[in-house]
Structure 1
């Protein structure tokens, strides 16, 4: 089979290997025929060695986390899925999978769920990491309620675009930061207020917010504490909780590390099938251009998601 692999860490090291063996069927796992794979920033970061401490350097490594496909084989002890079930989820090597940007993959049942009934393969492949991150933060970490105000940084990105839609579905007032040229797209997602982070200072405009969801990090994260009311909550995808600022502003700061799981994927599928969320696919790539797909994700301000079409 074909797979997008790396044999060393570095920039632009992804190659298509046309002679990869289909992963072995092990007890407790499933083999999936992949139809599409979603591209996330974590994918190119892994190829450049950012996660080398957490990943075995057993090269070559197949890259990619998110996918949609059809169950081809079911390992001993697996009762949740049958052959020909359409599933989506994660098969990243950092979670024990075989890598998603390939014609076939191996993964664990706890990392997948049945695809949304109304989603195409490409839409389903674009959902897992970004959608699960948004679901976990909005529902579980922030516990957002109807009528509350939330600021979502990086609204046009994969996670931000999901978070805006989920927050609006819950009846919140949503402000977001993004580039001016993304305004129309963000309005369609449901954002109530769009702040151009290049020309406007968000902490001078927004006050007494209940929550901030930060997908940017750095100075943006630190400035965001000024936006919150006492007792508010800030969750960051990138920054560790700053206890000094947390105490100064009397708010709760939480760091987010997303772990894809079946329960969150099921909730995500429900939201998609109910029409509460949609996926914007910025650009499609064929499997043979997987390296270009990762580079495009790395070097551009992507509006939504990048998807690789495989089978």
Structure 2
């Protein structure tokens, strides 16, 4: 089969198309004919940082964490899937697991679910990583409840726009920080109140949105100063979630408010092999929400064939993307 192989790490990382054997599914695995993958910032971090990350693969390697496709073969043993099923998941592209930038891919069936029926199969590849991350943060970690206030830092981003929608679905009053009118229009269309953080201080938007009490839950998808601001924006005994905690922070504001901090490292089950079944279960719920018109994915206007994955990386690095970038594999 044809596959795009990452051959070097660093700012000049390079992909080449090569011929590799079609993988054979083992027990508990599925062989998929890949429809599409999607670009995630972590793909770029792996390509640029390489060995600085503990979960970077050995080269050459097939990247592409998100996948959608059709089951063509089921591995030995019982399975809840059969050939012809359309599925989606976040199932490879790191450590020793080949990813979706190839014509075929084997996946651990615990990591996938049947794809939404109301959208194109290729577009469904834009959902898994960001939806699972948002779900873990709001449901599994913070336990968001109806009537609570939620602030999403970076509300128009990949994880951010999913968190906005899941918060609205849970019955929370959702606010989201943005950096432009266009991004503000995105989060407003999804049911949240936009906050231009470039024009409004933390104290001001906390006062405007909560009367100075602070938010019950703050979901930080940005990191750095944004996480520091999240501690300031949360109410006493509130919950802060972050997906970006690889940095040093002053925890005094967190201590003063008796906050709880929850870190979501979504890739951990892929790395360790533990807890994978939860991801398939989450995606089944996500597909149901999509089919009921309760959840949508924002797609960037640009999409790339998998043979042009290097161009997709350059496009994202230039800051041009608004929404998930679909990487088409099937013709």
Is the CA contact 2:23–2:104 (under 8 Å) kept in the aligned structure 1?
yes
Note if 1:309 corresponds to 2:328: yes
Note if 1:257 corresponds to 2:265: yes
Aligned residue in 2 for 1:217: 223
Aligned residue in 2 for 1:298: 317
Aligned residue in 2 for 1:233: 239
TM-score (norm 2): 0.88
Aligned residue in 2 for 1:157: 157
- Structure 2 matches for 1:181-220, cutoff 5 A? 181-192=182-193, 194-206=194-206, 207=212, 208-220=214-226
Separation of aligned partners in 1, 2:107 and 2:290: 23
Secondary structure, aligned partner of 2:19:
coil
Provide closer, same or farther for how the CA distance between residues 96 and 60 of structure 1 changes in structure 2, counting only shifts above 3 A. Answer: closer
Separation of aligned partners in 1, 2:2 and 2:15: 10
Deviation at 1:123, TM superposition (A): 2.5
Is the CA contact 2:58–2:96 (under 8 Å) kept in the aligned structure 1?
no
Is the CA contact 2:56–2:95 (under 8 Å) kept in the aligned structure 1?
no
Separation of aligned partners in 2, 1:174 and 1:199: 19
What do residues 260-280 of structure 1 show as CA deviations (whole Å, max 9, x unaligned)? 711111111111111111111
Deviation at 1:242, TM superposition (A): 6.5
Separation of aligned partners in 1, 2:177 and 2:50: 27
Separation of aligned partners in 2, 1:142 and 1:51: 32
Deviation at 1:26, TM superposition (A): 2.4
Aligned residue in 2 for 1:83: 83
Note if 1:274 corresponds to 2:292: yes
Deviation at 1:51, TM superposition (A): 5.8
Q: Structure 1: where are the runs of 5+ without partners?
A: none
Is the CA contact 1:203–1:223 (under 8 Å) kept in the aligned structure 2?
no
Secondary structure, aligned partner of 2:49:
coil
Deviation at 1:25, TM superposition (A): 2.8
Question: Equivalent of 1:248, from 230, 235, 256?
Answer: 256
Deviation at 1:95, TM superposition (A): 6.4
Is the CA contact 2:91–2:107 (under 8 Å) kept in the aligned structure 1?
yes
Secondary structure, aligned partner of 2:8:
coil
Deviation at 1:119, TM superposition (A): 2.2
What do residues 214-245 of structure 1 show as CA deviations (whole Å, max 9, x unaligned)? 00111110122121111110000001697544
- Structure 2 matches for 1:131-142, cutoff 5 A? 131-142=131-142
Deviation at 1:294, TM superposition (A): 2.1
Is the CA contact 1:156–1:302 (under 8 Å) kept in the aligned structure 2?
no
Provide closer, same or farther for how the CA distance between residues 139 and 16 of structure 1 changes in structure 2, counting only shifts above 3 A. Answer: same
Separation of aligned partners in 2, 1:50 and 1:229: 39
Is the CA contact 1:178–1:195 (under 8 Å) kept in the aligned structure 2?
yes
Separation of aligned partners in 2, 1:141 and 1:57: 29
Separation of aligned partners in 2, 1:12 and 1:47: 9
TM-score (norm 1): 0.93
